Amino acid sequence: MPDEIPIAETPNAAPVAQSASPHSAPASDRHRRDALALTIAAAAWFLPGLGHALLKMWGRALIFFSTVALLVILGAGMRGNIFSRNGEDAFAKLGYVADLGAGSFYFVARALETNGPDVSHSNGDYGTRLLATAGVLNMLAALHAYEVTRARKA
């Protein structure tokens, strides 16, 4: 066939490495990026703002840390309900998932709320919402850090 370029046999040539293939290099890079994105998301969840700090997005890191911290301090100070893992109904279990979204700050909230929750007043009810908001917001920030690492968002 005239279009084909003849390839000379080179018996002494070194075997072609796997990574030299045009398809394997981007795939391995993608796997590495996925692993990095998961690590950053886990860091962002564990300590609010840490994921963005690792990505050198200092403004976002500072804002997420301060916002989640303030929500947790206010929520615990207002004697909101911090759900535990032994939730009796679906709402308590959902509340636990939301609260746990704050990562290490979940335990900070538990430590701050020395007198226990008091949802008999509206203050305690608002506190419960603030604590859940802190967790959900932190999960959103962790998802954002994950997407940024995977180069899907700016």
Partner 1 sequence: MMSPHQFRLSHFQAMVIFALLISVAFGFLSRRGAYQRARYIFWSFILFLVIGVGIGWAMYPFSH
Interface contacts to partner 1, rule CB under 8 A: 59-60, 63-64, 67, 70-71, 73-74, 76-79, 112-115, 122-123, 126, 129-130, 133, 137, 140-141, 144, 154
**Rounded distance, CA 29 to CA 78, Å?**
47
State the residue for tokens 């939730």. Answer: 87
CB of 65 to partner 1, least distance (A): 11
First vs last C-alpha separation in the chain: 49
Minimum distance of partner 1 from residue 94's CB (angstroms): 19
Tokens of 43: 């860091």
* Residues written for the chain: 154
Do 70 and 127 touch, CB atoms closer than 8 A?
no
Instruction: Give CA–CA dist 136/139, Å, rounded.
Output: 5
Paired tokens of 90: 């679906």
Tell me the C-alpha distance between 91 and 134, whole Å.
17
Nearer to partner 1, 64 or 106 (CB): 64
Minimum distance from residue 97 beta carbon to partner 1 (Å) = 19
Cβ at position 87, least distance to partner 1 in Å: 24
